[in-house]
Structure 1
Amino acid sequence: MSAQLFVVATPIGHLDDMTFRAIDTLKSVSIIAAEDTRTSAQLLKHFNISTPLTACHDHNESNKIDMLVQRLLKGENMALISDAGTPLISDPGFKLVRAAQEHGIRVIPVPGACAAIAALSSVGLPSDRFSFEGFLSSKASQRLLQLEKLKDETQTLIFYEAPHRILESVKNMAEVFGADRPVGFAREITKTFETIRKMTLGELVQFIESDHNQQKGEIVLVVGGATQEKDMEQEKLDQLLTRLLQDLSVKAASQLAADLTGIKKKVAYQRALELTAQ
């Protein structure tokens, strides 16, 4: 009779984020498939878990699937973990989970930490609709093409990025999405030097350039969608017009707003009329 495959989330930094269920599961299974056995061995040691480890990573997953599935089919419960966070989220494990499903093996999630969701929950950008894009290409030309395809998407976009590419990637985003697009910058979540900031892409370029420490560690970028950028511009225009209309006529207020923002006077005038009618 086949056993069960548990997909177990582990901490992304702070070890206290390990759940009781995750600990119990890792202690109870026959074997743990880990992205890096050296990294995972330290985690298991901390929680006094003596379950055997076997490596399952991008370079060997395809070759190990048959062996792992056979062990499951023989009745050995197994856990799948990554170096940190939830397996399969820009980490190995998809092929093993798919193979288990194809063989009728029950796959059970053991939820826990995930850097993408942690960042989304804390940067103050809309979370009702979002798209996880993982890592962008390491090649600048391909990265720009990827961003061009995403620039008109209206949902919030979530990216992971390597520290040595973060500055160039953010510059590319500012170039394609516009320097005024809102972005959440989450670095080293739950760790000692955790940094969570919300600003524009243009401001983020300056922030990273001015502090080399921001080019270290694990980084998540949460970028506002295209319509959110337009909504922000509309909100700023409304705030400006509302203030000007306290002292000026509709015509004068709309002319000054157009001069200050660069929008067409006709657009500012129409919006000023709408605001006065409210």
Structure 2
Amino acid sequence: MASNYTDQDLEILISTTNRNTLDFLIPMFPFGHFSEFSILIINQTSKDKIMVSDFPSVRIINSFEKGLSKSRNIAIQNASKKIGLFADDDVIYAKDFDKQIIDAFNAFDSSVITFNHQRIGLDHPQNAATMHYSHNFKSIWNVCSIEIAVKTEDIKNAKISFNEQFGLGSYFETAEELLFMRTVLQHKIKAGYFPVVVVSHALLSSGEAQGSDKLIFARAALSYKLYGMLAYFWLPKYLFFLYRHQFISKSEILKKMKAGILGIKKYKELHKTTIK
């Protein structure tokens, strides 16, 4: 046994926006009441829409800053338990998810463990792997943020954070979990995958989102961050992939190319003054 954690060591770190009641927590825990769990809510809101909690187990930080990665970072810095589980406000937890998470941290010497999730309406989990494995720079491309649990002190001590240029509500609305996991591995911190479904989530939107200017803008910026000038060669290949899979039409290719180039340009502009 690597450790001796109990379910009292787990805290759920929920990111949400513009809430003023705790009602959204009810469907997240269909097998019991949310007050049975330690929860930290980062509510990105305005001063006229404040949320309060009457439950000692549910803490709330009303933040007037925007962006999912900013929210995750606030959660990390204010986490009060040994293990933190990142969460969105529209997920549904499986029965005994907390015990599964604790068992994994007790069984494996990892500071970060990712789990599996299932899209509502599908009959199979998101990740087909059925065996535990250690993460590498390839495997982290399949990680979703709602699958990530961390030893909070290890992450704080290593000063690891989400890149606030990426993620919903920021400049580039994608890949915040990939960049987080990449930073974890770059710090030589042990990260593993444990093959159990702990949470379910609504189906992603289909081809329209895949081919949207916003997503192409963001993914081109990500490509430049990871590969530098090679992003200019990656972009047309990516657009051909989108065209071949009918996410975009032939007549849209030039427009989408411009969106991607603008994403690279924006990242380069930001990076002149922001080192992340």
TM-score after normalising by structure 2 = 0.30
Larger Rg: 1
